[in-house]
Structure 1
Amino acid sequence: MQSIFAHHARLPQGWVIDLRLTVADGRIVTLEPGAFAQPQDHCVMALVPALANLHSHSFQRAMAGMTETRVSGKESFWSWRKLMYQFVDHLTPEHYEAIAGLVFMEMLEAGYASVGEFHYVHHQPGGRPYAALGELSNRVFAAADLTGIGLTHLPVLYSYGGAGQVPLSGGQQRFGNDVARYADLLSDCRSMVTKSLPSDARVGIAPHSLRATAPQDLKEVLSLRSGAPVHIHIAEQPQEVTDISTWLGARPVEWLLENCGVGADWCLIHATHMTAQETRDLAQSGAVAGLCPITEGNLGDGPFNGAAFLSHGGHFGVGSDSNVRISLSEELRMLEYSQRLRDLARNVMVPQEGSVGTTLYLGAAEGGAQALGREAGRLEVGALADLMAFDTTHVSLCALRPDQFLDGLCFASDDSVVSDVWSAGRHVVSGGRHAKRDQIIAAYASAVAALLDAL
């Protein structure tokens, strides 16, 4: 049993003062507002539900800053992807584990308590499987175990190089599985997670995208889900929309909603290029829109239909995707600012009236938990103790009332205000630092030095 005392805390009904919270077996056991701190309590200034980072490709963190030089011709997502394939050809299992360790540590220090690792690098360069089919997934599990982050692992089915069942080529060979081998990989991952990680860890499924699978394969892989979350990239780029429409006779989101029984256990990543009808239908399906505003801005994807989606009751969460910059506050800020720049308006991501920061933060907390299959996202008895504490005396927040704290967190501060993070009760960040920060950074620096020598 551990206990936390917060001078301010955000419960579902609103802000309360002097909250005493107890945790046992990774879950919140009691919530007592108006309490007095006890000698054994860990005291914090403000306590809120911690967010889930619902979409990550951890290996891409080591590429950050390598693709920001313009070359002849128009730069786009597709030119970035070509460089990514070249990079991935040199990754070893040791590199992968060290990079994932750094990424997960940085997420925790930014205020995230859990991650959805959308994992599609499975094999050796050239496509030959490792002796252990789940070798690279096992490296992700080791990084999650080291850092203490809550993991929903999402092994990816990636069978084709483009819409219309184009064969895999080049760097894509490391991603490739047919449905039968994917089923074996999924079984291995489920077994290893049970053996090696705490009980809050999950394994979902992730057909990479409509362009990297095919309708019959998608039907077969969905039969393997066993109630687990389903994540898929969708409608990220206009060219993708054109290619899928030409091949399948419908736009990507339209086709998926009509053919795959999309519901509350689905997370559609990006969903950037949707019609008004698709936006409404996705919102009403109950699925989560997985938004990655920093990466979407970095790749020039375009802004999400945020206001319309929320007006129809849509659920959303955020993820750091390419991990070019891991920042919870910037992710939420970029989401709102992308809407303002498109609409030439302010305070867009809030239905009707109210605090934008509160809508963004609490909406992402609940939507992210839903997307990862975690019983979290709210401070309530029985929920997983995914908790984030921040310093209200920080210069960026000290002038604000409690009802403005989340606005300040989203728009006026950076992640240096984060003081503590608990993931299913594991107290992994204290005083703004991860408990194993020095060890993790040293391993990453060594791995990157070796990787750069190979490039």
Structure 2
Amino acid sequence: MSGWLFARRALLPQGWAADVLIEWDDAGVLTAVTPGSSGSGPQDQTPRTVELVLPGMVNLHSHAFQRALGGLTETAGDNPDSFWTWRELMYRFARNITPEQIEAIAAQLFSECLRHGYTSVCEFHYVQRAPDGSLYARPAETAERVAAASRAAGIGLTMLPVLYSYAGFGELALGSDQQRFRTDPDQVLRIVEALEPLRGGQFEVGAAPHSLRAASVSQILELTQALPAGRPLHIHIAEQQAEVLGCLEFSGMRPLRYLSEHIALDARWCLVHATHIDADEVDRIADSGAVAGLCPTTEANLGDGIFPLEQFIHAGGRFGIGSDSHVSQSPVEELRWLEYGQRLQHQRRNVAVSHTQRRVAEFLWQGALQGGAQASGRPVGALAAGLRADLLVLDSEHPNLDGAASDDVMGAFIFAGNDNLVRDVLAGGRWVVQGGRHVDQDAIARRYKQALAELREFRS
């Protein structure tokens, strides 16, 4: 798996660099990234030469099984539709899904994510039990299936077994459609322990309290204290106005404030969505060092709302992106809509910038890389020695990129057209996408189609 690549231009942490020799070892780790190179590899061997290289993106929030729901929830009901009506449809879909189907769906999703430029994913995994609500003989049965799918596709994975005990604030009992998700802190920790042997360069394990609706603060504290030090922690927070109102009624505080008053937030945490936060909560996230996990295509699809990105940037906040329910598998679309949502809200252009970076697309890509890497708990997010060998080769002959100056590449990549401009993808030192196709695309798609055909029989 060791190898090297010569890039005429590559996006490094400090910006675009010319004539970059990129080298990696058998473990899939970058050993050297050398700008201004002569173009010769080790022992004067001639490496493959490409024009444009980017670091691979991190997808910091995924519910892999929901990929199979795409397009099936776009019919209006008799009453106004919302996140909550969508959730009921999702529950019915999850009722009968098998571990084998979970694996097939996840492999399809991961192959699509790779083709569009994600080289890592954080899986917020909560389908833990059998359809009748009983535990599997292997406590990590379904999580292991997703891990197997990540290996088959070749994507880096951070597995986040979910703590899911209640149906609402005040420790409301779970409904019948939520029994497959039911876990307590001890059960989550048993899943984490079962996954420990899989940890390595392409796989990490953290944990995820589902939300303040589904886990009490005492449970969250118990879990965070027992989880091995330094492991990532993710939670859904303040996604919907109804959640904010429910938390106010229950605790007298908004969700983010309630969480931060009881749990010491720090850089291990990824606060997913955080859509409805006030100015004080913006500062609380930024000051804590936690990452805001933003999923613009899903947030738009579900009618969640718009995150206060401009205020968050000005406060020094860290952010990353995720595809969540997978109505899109493209980091380009997530970042495009992250910026476009701000333009629509503020009625002006070029919002996501800083004092030191005025090019919107570059600011978004580099910012999402840094936040995503932190949220994943893995050594990724840049082309630099010691990090995973994750990179994208762009189609420099495409009309949108042909002859583009370095300063214009990212703007064209993110804001011009809908063609996928990712040509080849290296993930963990393995070429998993070549010429725009995943190396195992046909076999993965066959298994996915079979799983989908089986699941359609249970639709109601």
Per the TM superposition, whether the score is higher than 0.5 is: yes
Whether 2:406 is the aligned partner of 1:402: answer yes
Whether 2:428 is the aligned partner of 1:424: answer yes
1:268-287 to 2 correspondences below 5 Å: 268-287=271-290
Q: Shift of the alpha carbon at 1:409? A: 1.2
Residue-by-residue CA offset, 1:54-113 (whole Å, 9 max, x unaligned) = 000000010101110111111000000001001101201111110000001001001011
| From 224, 248, 253, the counterpart of 2:256 | 253
Kept in 1, the 8 Å contact 2:189–2:227? The answer is no
Mapped partners of 2:52, 2:374: distance in 1: 24
Aligned to 2:37: 35
Residue-by-residue CA offset, 1:181-223 (whole Å, 9 max, x unaligned) = 22222211223x24xxx43310011000011001211111111
Whether 2:14 is the aligned partner of 1:13: answer yes
- TM-score, structure 2 normalization: 0.95
Whether 2:114 is the aligned partner of 1:111: answer no
* Structure 2 residue identity aligned to 1:214: S
Residue-by-residue CA offset, 1:350-393 (whole Å, 9 max, x unaligned) = 12461000100110011101100121212222222121121222
* Structure 2 residue identity aligned to 1:127: G
* Structure 1 residue identity aligned to 2:56: A
Aligned to 1:100: 106
Kept in 1, the 8 Å contact 2:188–2:207? The answer is no
The farther-off stretch of 69-78 and 348-357 is 348-357
Residue-by-residue CA offset, 1:38-64 (whole Å, 9 max, x unaligned) = 455233221111111000000001010
Kept in 1, the 8 Å contact 2:267–2:291? The answer is yes
Q: Shift of the alpha carbon at 1:413? A: 4.0
Whether 2:73 is the aligned partner of 1:67: answer yes
1:10-159 to 2 correspondences below 5 Å: 10-24=11-25, 25-38=27-40, 40-159=46-165
Mapped partners of 2:419, 2:61: distance in 1: 19
* Structure 2 residue identity aligned to 1:453: E
Kept in 1, the 8 Å contact 2:168–2:213? The answer is yes
Q: Shift of the alpha carbon at 1:255? A: 1.3
Mapped partners of 2:416, 2:396: distance in 1: 12
Residue-by-residue CA offset, 1:12-55 (whole Å, 9 max, x unaligned) = 22211221111012221112223243455233221111111000
The farther-off stretch of 84-93 and 386-395 is 386-395
The farther-off stretch of 7-16 and 213-222 is 7-16
1:349-368 to 2 correspondences below 5 Å: 349-352=352-355, 354-368=358-372
Partner secondary structure for residue 129 of structure 1: coil
Partner secondary structure for residue 320 of structure 2: strand
Mapped partners of 2:322, 2:17: distance in 1: 29
| From 353, 375, 379, the counterpart of 2:379 | 375
1:172-183 to 2 correspondences below 5 Å: 172-183=178-189
Number of residue pairs the alignment of both structures matches: 451
Kept in 2, the 8 Å contact 1:110–1:415? The answer is no
Kept in 2, the 8 Å contact 1:122–1:176? The answer is yes
* Structure 1 residue identity aligned to 2:378: R
Q: Shift of the alpha carbon at 1:399? A: 5.0
Aligned to 1:4: 5
Mapped partners of 2:122, 2:403: distance in 1: 35
Mapped partners of 2:331, 2:309: distance in 1: 18
Partner secondary structure for residue 144 of structure 2: helix
CA distance 1:269–1:43, change in 2 (3 Å)? same
Kept in 2, the 8 Å contact 1:329–1:413? The answer is no
The farther-off stretch of 328-337 and 410-419 is 410-419
Mapped partners of 2:227, 2:187: distance in 1: 15
Mapped partners of 1:281, 1:16: distance in 2: 36
Aligned to 1:447: 451
Whether 2:362 is the aligned partner of 1:331: answer no
Residue-by-residue CA offset, 1:221-272 (whole Å, 9 max, x unaligned) = 1112212000000000000011112112211111112221111111000000
CA distance 1:399–1:156, change in 2 (3 Å)? same
Kept in 2, the 8 Å contact 1:428–1:434? The answer is yes
The percentage of aligned residue pairs carrying the same residue is: 45
Partner secondary structure for residue 223 of structure 1: helix
Q: Shift of the alpha carbon at 1:8? A: 0.7
Kept in 1, the 8 Å contact 2:217–2:259? The answer is no
Provide the aligned C-alpha RMSD in A.
1.3
Structure 1, unaligned stretches of length 5 or more?
none
Partner secondary structure for residue 445 of structure 2: helix
Q: Shift of the alpha carbon at 1:415? A: 5.6
| From 222, 239, 244, the counterpart of 2:242 | 239
Partner secondary structure for residue 416 of structure 1: coil
Aligned to 1:230: 233
* Structure 2 residue identity aligned to 1:23: W
Mapped partners of 1:224, 1:107: distance in 2: 32
Mapped partners of 2:94, 2:330: distance in 1: 24
Mapped partners of 1:394, 1:106: distance in 2: 20
* Structure 1 residue identity aligned to 2:256: V
* Structure 1 residue identity aligned to 2:22: L
Mapped partners of 1:375, 1:178: distance in 2: 30
